[in-house]
Structure 1
Amino acid sequence: MLTIEELQSITLERQGLRYDAPFGEGKAAVGQALEQLGYLQIDTLSVVERAHHHTLWTRIPDYKTDYLDELVQERQIFEYWFHAASYLPMRDYRFAQAQMLEVRDNDSHYYKADSTVMQYIIDTIRAEGPKRVRDFENQAKKKGSWWDWKPTKIALERLFLQGDLMVSGREGMQKTYDLPERVLPATLDLTVPSPMEFANYLVKTYLNAYGWTTVKQIMHLKTGEGVRKDVKEVLSVMLEGRMVESIHIKCYPPVFVRCDLMEVKAERNIPEVRLLSPFDNAIIHRDRLKQFFDFDYRMECYAPKEKRQYGYFCLPILFGNTFVGRVDCKAHRKQQQFEIIHLHVENQSVDLDLWAKPFAERIKQFVLFNGCTSLKLSQVSPSNRTSALRKLLEGLF
C-alpha cells in the first residue's frame, strides 16, 4: 500500500519537479516535456512571465520563450483545447478532432458566427495565405454584443474550434490562422477516434503525466456521462490487465496507480524549491492539490481587491514534497525591477531556515527570466521574518 508521501513523490517525479532538467536541455526538452505532461496551458496574464513559458522554465533551466513558436512552425506541436487553451503534441491531433466535430455540430455553441463571414474568411485565407484578426476589415458589431468583438474575430474563433482553421504561428499573443492542410504533417493519422479510444487517450495521458489519477481528475471540466462511463470502463480493463492498481486510503477517493510505479519510495529531503505558475500542470487540479498535498490554493486575480487573502497573482512555493508558502509577485519590466509584493510563509512544520536559501536562489533565477535586474521585497508574513529575508533577498543583486 502506498502512502500519501509516496503518491506525492510519484506525481512530482512524473511532473518533472524533483530534479533539475529532467527532460534535458534546449528546444528538444520542450518536446519531451510536452509529451510527458500531455498539454501546456496558454494564458494571457503577464504580471510575471506568461504561464506557458513559466511552466516550461520551471522544468527546463535554459528554456527560451522562442522555443514554443519554433515548435509550432516545425509542426511538432499545435494549439487547441484540452481543458483550456493549450499547446499539445502533434501526435495527439486526432484526439482533438472529437471536440472539433462536437463544436461543428452544435448550433447553440457560444461562438455563434455568421456563416457568410465564415466562408469569407476561409476563401480569403485559401487565396491569400495565413491571416491575423487585424488583417481583416474591422466590421463593427452592435454595441455591447460579445464584448464588441468584430464579426471576423468571432468567426475566426469558431472556425478554429471546429477545426476548419489552425493556429500556424504567433506574434506574442496575436495568433495567425491557416488552413489545416497547410499546417498538418502529411503523415499524421487523422482518423477520428471512437469514444472508447478517446477515453483511453484521456486515462493514459493522466497516468503518464502524474503516475496515478482519480476519475474526478480525468473528468476535470469535461461533461457527459458517456465519457465518464467510458473512462471507468478503460480503468476496469487496465485493472484486469495489471496495468494499474487501485488503492484505497481512508477519507480519499479511489486512486489508480500505474503498476510499474508501485515500488517508488518517498524522498522528502530533496532541498529544491520550485516557484509554480498558477496554471502549472502539477497544481491546476485544485481539489487534488488540497486532498493529496494539503495545500488550499485559489487564484485571486479575478476576485475584488478587498476579498483577496494573499494577493493578485500568487505563486505557490514548493520545497521537496511540501508547499511551504506562496509569493505575490510583479515584474516591473520598464524599470527592470522584480517586486515581491507579499511573501507568505505558511507551513510551520518546515523550518524556514531550511528553504530560505534555496528559495533565494530560485527567486534570483526567476528575476532574470523575467527580464529584470533588481529585486524589491515589500512585505512578509509573519512580519518577524522580514528583516532576515530582506537581507537575504535584496542582497542578491
Structure 2
Amino acid sequence: MHRLTRDEARRIAVRAQLLDADRPGDVVEVAEQIAAIKIDPTAVIAPSEQSICWSRIGWAYEPGQLSKAVEGDRLLFEYDGHFRPASLLPALRAVMPGRRLGGSTRQYLEANAAFRAEILRRLEREGPLPASEIPDTSVVQVKNESGWYGANQVPRMLELMSYLGDVAISGRIGRQRVWDLPDRVYGARDAEMDPADAEDVLAARRLQALGIAREKSSWSGVGTAGEPAEVEGSAWRWRVDPEALAARGDDPGGRAAILNPYDRMLFDRPRLTELFEFTYVLEQFKPKHQRVYGYFAHPILVGDRFVGLLDAALDKKKENLVVSAVHELVPLDDDEREMAHAEVRDLGEWLGVPVRGLD
C-alpha cells in the first residue's frame, strides 16, 4: 500500500495530464499519454480538441498538426467522440463488438438490421462517404426527444455502428465526418486480442492518463489497474500508476494552464473535489440568470491548484479575445496572478488576436 500526501497525489495527477512545466512536443505525445482528446464543436474560444492540445504543447502547437496526425500519418484515430492514439487500436477493436447497449438501443438495431447491412454494402461498393450521401432506409426511428438528432436516422445508425466496430471515421470535411469500413481505416488486424486482456490494457491506459484515481470508479474506469494507494486525509481506496509513482521525485515544477471545460483533467468531477478541493460546474446549459462564472468558463490551474475561472470568448468577427472576468477562487499572490494572466495573453497570441478586458 503506497501512502501519499495530498500534494503528492495532486502532482501525480497534474503530471499525468501533461500540465506541469515539462511540456510535450507534439499531438501524438499528448494522445499517447492522456489516451483521449475530446472532440466538441463548441468554440467559445476554440474547439475542445484544439485547446486541449494547446493547453499541453503551448505556442508551438498549430491546429493543422492534429488533422495531419489523424488523416495523414494515421497515428491517431477518431472513435466515440475522441481522437485516440493508434496504439490503443488492438485493445479497442477487441472490445468494440461486445460493447453493452441499453435494451431500447438493442431493439432499434434489431429492427433496423437491413438498414445496417445496407450501409455496410454501400460503403464497401462506394468507399468513404459522409452521412449526407447515405439514404435513410430505416424501419424504426428514434424519437428526437434529446434534440441531438434530426429525423434522419443515418447519423444515429453510423454512430452506433462505429461504437460496435462495424464502421470507422476515415476523416472529416470541415466538421462533417466521413465514414468507411474499419479495415480500410485502421488496417487489417494481424491477430485479435482476447477481450478480457483488452479490458485490462484499457484500464491501465486510463490510469496512466489520470496518474491516480479512485478504485472501481465509474468516472475513471481504472478498476484494479496499477497499485493500491492511500491519500492523506481521504477515506477513498485509490489506484496509482506505477510509472507515475516511480517518477514523483523527478518533479519539473508547475505552471499555469487554461483548460477547456471538456478537458480530460476535469472529467472525473468527484476526484476534482476530493484531491483538488475544486467543485466545477459547467454552466453552459443553465439559464443565463443562474450563471455565476459564465456560459463556458475555462478553469485555470496554477501549479497543482485550481485558482480561478476564465470567462472569455472570441468576438463575433473573431478579431479579439474578450475577457469578461477572471474569477479568482482562492487568494493569489502577485506572481500567481501574473502567471494566470500571462497564460491568457498567450492564449490570445496563439489565436492570433488581441486580448481585451484583461486587467
**Which digits, 9 at most, give the CA deviation of each residue in 1:85-134, with x for residues without a partner?**
21111221232235531359876327935333323322222112110012
Q: CA deviation at 1:175?
A: 0.3
Are the equivalent residues in 1 in contact too, given 2:213–2:220 (CA < 8 A)?
Answer: no
Q: In structure 2, which of residues 93, 97, 101 is the aligned counterpart of residue 101 of structure 1?
A: 97
The equivalent residue for 1:9 is 11
Aligned equivalent of 1:368: 349
User: Counterparts of 1:196-345 in structure 2 under 5 Å?
Assistant: 197-217=197-217, 219-220=218-219, 231-232=223-224, 235=225, 244-260=227-243, 261=245, 264-265=248-249, 270=254, 272-345=255-328
SS in 1 for 2:192: coil
Residues paired across the two proteins, number: 348
Q: Which has the larger radius of gyration?
A: 1
Residue 328 of structure 1 deviates from its aligned partner by: 1.2
Comparing 51-60 with 116-125, greater Cα deviation is found at 116-125
Q: 1:374 to 1:80 in 2, by over 3 A?
A: same
TM-score (norm 2): 0.86
Kindly state the Cα deviation for residue 18 of structure 1 after the two structures are TM-superposed: 1.0
After the TM superposition, which residues 92-131 of structure 1 pair with which residues of structure 2 at under 5 Å, given as runs?
92-97=88-93, 99-103=95-99, 108-109=104-105, 112=108, 114-131=112-129
1:168 is aligned to: 170
Q: Does 1:193 align with 2:202?
A: no
Does residue 59 in structure 1 map to residue 56 in structure 2?
yes
Q: Do 1:338 and 1:375's aligned partners in 2 also have CA atoms closer than 8 Å?
A: yes
Larger relative contact order (Cα-Cα within 8 Å, sequence gap ≥ 6):
2
Report the aligned-residue RMSD.
Answer: 2.9
Confirm or deny: 8 A CA contact 1:301 1:312 kept in the other structure: yes
1:249 partner letter: E
CA-to-aligned-CA distance 1:204-242 (integer Å, 9 cap, x gap): 11332233222144x3276xxxxx9xx34xx4xx6xxxx
SS at match of 1:316: strand
Inter-CA distance 262–346: structure 2 relative to 1 (3 Å threshold) = same
- Residues 153/143 of structure 1: CA separation in 2 closer, same or farther (3 Å cut): closer
Partners of 2:209 and 2:95 lie apart in 1 by 21
Query: Hey, what does 1:133 align to over in structure 2?
Result: 131
Q: Secondary structure at the match of 1:60?
A: helix
Match of 1:68 among 50, 66, 69: 66
Q: How many Å separate the matches in 1 of 2:211 and 2:151?
A: 42
Distance 2:42 2:200 in 1: 33
Which residue pairs with 2:32 in the alignment?
35
Distance 1:138 1:283 in 2: 37
Q: For residue 5 of structure 1, give the secondary structure of its aligned residue in structure 2.
A: helix
The answer to whether the 8 A contact 1:35-1:89 is kept is: yes
- SS of the residue corresponding to residue 283 of structure 1 reads helix
- Aligned to 1:148, the other structure's residue is in SS state coil
Displacement of 1:269 after TM fit? 6.8
8 Å contact kept, 2:95–2:195: no
Distance 1:312 1:171, change over 3 A: same
Cα distance change, pair 179–139 in 1 and its aligned pair in 2 (3 A): closer
Give the 3 Å change call, closer, same or farther, for CA 285–111 of structure 1 in structure 2.
Answer: farther
Greater mean alpha carbon deviation, residues 105-114 or residues 336-345:
105-114
In 2, Cα distance between the equivalents of 1:254 and 1:308? Answer: 34
| 3-state SS, counterpart of residue 128 of structure 2 | coil
Could you list the per-position Cα deviations for residues 276-308 of structure 1 after superposition, in whole angstroms to 9, with x for gaps in the alignment?
A: 111212221111111101111111101222222
**Percent of counterpart pairs with the same letter?**
25
Residue type of the alignment partner of 1:87:
F
The answer as to whether partners of 2:78 and 2:84 remain within 8 angstroms in 1 is yes
Unaligned runs of 5+ in 2: none
In 1, distance between residues paired with 2:141 and 2:183?
A: 36
1:144–1:88 CA distance, 2 compared to 1 (3 A): closer
| Alpha-carbon separation, structure 2, partners of 1:143 and 1:248 | 49
Q: Is the 8 A contact 2:70 2:77 kept in 1?
A: yes
